[in-house]
Amino acid sequence: MTSTDCEYPEHDKLRQVSGASQGQGELLEWLRSQGVCLMRWKTWTEQVQDDCPRCGHWDEQDQTWRTPCGSPEILPRRVNCADGSGKMPPRDVEREGWVSDDRSIQVILAEYHGIDLGKLEDEKRAMLRDLRECQSADAA
């Protein structure tokens, strides 16, 4: 084990997988150029706001207030919902489904090989700092 193994462990991991990750990256890039899209199964929460079942809804196209049965309302907007907007209070709905994986190839490969890109960046900064300190010590 060299002294850099302890100082820069993420760089050591990167060095160990560089041959394999180069080929993997080229494959992923080629697949993208062929229109192949990676997908991920995702679960997320979405806020929805339903039309009030008693008030109906505002029809943007016709610029009329429609009752729940769909007929135009002659009277002004009803105020059966809490704020008179014709909308129920917002509620959270759990959704799930396939979504496009928009992570970069670099991020995908780093995750696959267990490399923390944040720590890698910190190590780069530490290397530059150490290099500057060595250069200033040599100049003195």
* Alpha-carbon Rg for the chain in angstroms: 29
Query: Which stretches of the chain score pLDDT less than 50?
Result: 1-4, 74-79
- The pLDDT value recorded for residue 26 is 97
Q: Which residue type occupies 109?
A: L
Residue 77 neighbours by CB under 8 Å, 6+ apart: 55, 58, 65, 84, 86
- The pLDDT value recorded for residue 66 is 64
Distance CA 62, CA 56 (A): 14
CA distances from 130 to 1, 5, 44, 116, 125 (A): 20, 15, 44, 21, 9
- The pLDDT value recorded for residue 138 is 79
- The pLDDT value recorded for residue 75 is 42
Distance, C-alpha 96 to centroid of its chain: 15
